[in-house]
Structure 1
Amino acid sequence: MEELYFLNDGTYELDAGAYFGIIPKALWSKHFNDNNNKIRITTNIPYLRINNVNTTIDAGIGNSFSDQFKKIFRPEKNNDISRSLTEDYHLKSLDNIILSHMHFDHAGSIFSSSLLFKRSQIIMQTKELKAFRHPNNFTRGSYIHKKIYGNIKALEGTAKINGNISAVNTGGHSEGHMVILFNINSKKYMYGGDLFPSAFHIKPYYIPAIDSYPVQTMKMKRKLLKKAINENISIIFNHDTNNLMAKVYGSTDKPELEFHGN
């Protein structure tokens, strides 16, 4: 049995300059409402149930916020993946958490001592684990500095996780960022992580200012867009409040989107 659901772990505010980088406000303001130059973004999380193995791709923002975090990011937990998994899907423990990367808005629940998460296998890139453990002045604010629960499985580059799921080590946004490809009921999906945080960011050169290696991001976006177009893959946007996913057509430099549900 193969099932795909979508969870949400709430919203938070991010500085517009961080989210849009060099994209002029005259362009992005047509699509986004800003509050004192802050953009409220969401956390869309795929939940896969394949042969009774339960997996999420990324782990949301979690539930442990310092006063400083609340002041800067103003999180709103109108949705919670922990509550959804236990109450809606009746899980006692989650088998796998695949992390696109370890920034605070993607890895929050791996720092939870809840039985739901602490027995999970946490899958990430070795490079990302190293970046988390040894941040620099540019990256330090993006990571949560707490104990990781669960069992870590570190990948070395692009790898197949199981028969349905594979990971492409992209770099770009962070040292060990990866995009996750998976098949459910003969349909192909791509979880773009922060290479494609929203539908607006679909163009290769629409890159957030917080990317550690923006030229690498642009290179990988072109490569992944070509794959999505040629193989009829739906791209999932993890931070888009209005558009969960879309099929891509056209060309890599001028991609067009057709929005749809799962």
Structure 2
Amino acid sequence: METLQIGNITVMWLNGGDTFMDGGAMFGVVPKPLWTRKYPVNDKNQIELRCDPMLLQVNGKNVLIEAGIGNGKLTDKQKRNYGVSEESKLEEDLMKLDLTPADIDLVLMTHLHFDHACGLTKPADDGYVSTFPNAKIYTSQVEWDEMRNPNLRSRNTYWPENWQAIVDQVITYQNEIKLEDCIQMIHTGGHSAGHSLILIESAGERLVHMADLMPTHAHQNPLWVLAYDDYPMDSIREKQKWIPKALEADAWFSFYHDAYYRALKWDQDGKITTTLDRKRVDQGKLLKDLNR
């Protein structure tokens, strides 16, 4: 379990499951010879994408960012289509910290696509119940509205079983909200209409979680956006806005999906200076390519 200290806040990554998705979809119009220099790909043109929530302990409260892909919810067909190699082990990781899902006080959802929101509920009897029964669940009002009333495109990722059991726990906001005096959720749009990023600041140190505006370290270029993005020009605009701000503040960038880095820092020239690694698979080559 990797950890990162941001001032007085310890950030821990929990095992939320693993997927292998089409690399072309994850890099949109970027030519394959370019993005494969930045991120490993298998012979099926798939790239590994973790779905690992971040746990913070702030002001005596347990705060979870994202919820993983859950356990026991996906059909065999869905596991095949989404390249699921591992379901969530979030509860097991919480046990290692002497916690249970009932001990989670806040769950912060950057958006509610299935790979982030499946972990919010779990199977029980003939239906589903909340995984985190005592938590307040935060997401933008725009995202919550679309979750419950998806359009022809978005209904493939906004599933009733991921929201119907948590209706009474959800708290929404319009543009931004500040929580526990050190965490901000800011609506950006882009990847989805209601997508948000998360800023964490403590004792002069900062972390920016850009979620699916920057799902991996290889998406640093503002123009490298996903084919999955509903509003790609909004994604580009928000990356152009927030990446320079974070660089100027010497902030950490954290990742939910990256299979190689939990978090890292770039310098003003876009070169990696500091990393928190998840695993070492051709790390030397990755760093060499990224810093060209």
TM-score normalised to the size of structure 1? 0.92
Answering whether residue 165 of structure 2 is matched by residue 148 of structure 1, we say: yes
The match for 1:240 is: 258
Among 109, 113, 135, the residue aligned to 1:120: 135
Per the alignment, do residues 139 and 259 of structure 1 end up closer, same or farther by CA in structure 2, a change over 3 Å counting? farther
Shift of the alpha carbon at 1:114? 6.2
Shift of the alpha carbon at 1:88? 3.1
Question: What is the distance in 2 between the residues matched to 1:44 and 1:228?
Answer: 22
Q: How does 1:127-146 map to 2 (within 5 A)?
A: 127-146=142-161
**Secondary structure at the residue paired with 1:118?**
coil
Per the alignment, do residues 115 and 219 of structure 1 end up closer, same or farther by CA in structure 2, a change over 3 Å counting? closer
**Secondary structure at the residue paired with 1:132?**
helix
Contact 2:18 2:84 (C-alpha < 8 Å) held by counterparts: yes
**Secondary structure at the residue paired with 1:109?**
helix
Shift of the alpha carbon at 1:82? 2.0
Question: What is the distance in 1 between the residues matched to 2:258 and 2:30?
Answer: 17
Answering whether residue 40 of structure 2 is matched by residue 32 of structure 1, we say: yes
**Secondary structure at the residue paired with 1:229?**
helix
Among 14, 19, 26, the residue aligned to 1:7: 14
What amino acid does structure 1 have at the position aligned with 2:84?
A: P
Question: What is the distance in 2 between the residues matched to 1:145 and 1:61?
Answer: 15
The match for 1:66 is: 75
What amino acid does structure 2 have at the position aligned with 1:148?
A: A
Contact 1:93 1:116 (C-alpha < 8 Å) held by counterparts: no
The match for 2:94 is: 85
What amino acid does structure 1 have at the position aligned with 2:70?
A: G
Question: What is the distance in 2 between the residues matched to 1:78 and 1:105?
Answer: 11
Listed one character per residue, the Cα deviations across residues 184-203 of structure 1 (whole Å, up to 9, x for unaligned) are: 45421111100010000011
After TM superposition, which residue ranges in structure 1, 4 or more long, deviate above 3 angstroms? 113-116
Aligned length: 259
TM-score normalised to the size of structure 2? 0.83
Answering whether residue 110 of structure 2 is matched by residue 108 of structure 1, we say: no
Q: How does 1:100-249 map to 2 (within 5 A)?
A: 100-112=110-122, 117-146=132-161, 147-149=164-166, 151-249=169-267
Among 27, 45, 56, the residue aligned to 1:48: 56
Among 28, 48, 54, the residue aligned to 1:21: 28
Contact 1:93 1:115 (C-alpha < 8 Å) held by counterparts: no
**Secondary structure at the residue paired with 1:22?**
coil
**Secondary structure at the residue paired with 2:47?**
strand
Q: Does 112-121 or 18-27 show the bigger shift?
A: 112-121
Per the alignment, do residues 37 and 176 of structure 1 end up closer, same or farther by CA in structure 2, a change over 3 Å counting? same
**Alignment RMSD:** 2.0
Question: What is the distance in 2 between the residues matched to 1:82 and 1:216?
Answer: 35
Identity of aligned residues (%): 27
Contact 1:16 1:39 (C-alpha < 8 Å) held by counterparts: yes
- Gap regions ≥5 residues in structure 1: none
Shift of the alpha carbon at 1:48? 0.5
Question: What is the distance in 1 between the residues matched to 2:145 and 2:109?
Answer: 14
What amino acid does structure 2 have at the position aligned with 1:155?
A: Y
Shift of the alpha carbon at 1:181? 0.4
Question: What is the distance in 2 between the residues matched to 1:140 and 1:68?
Answer: 17
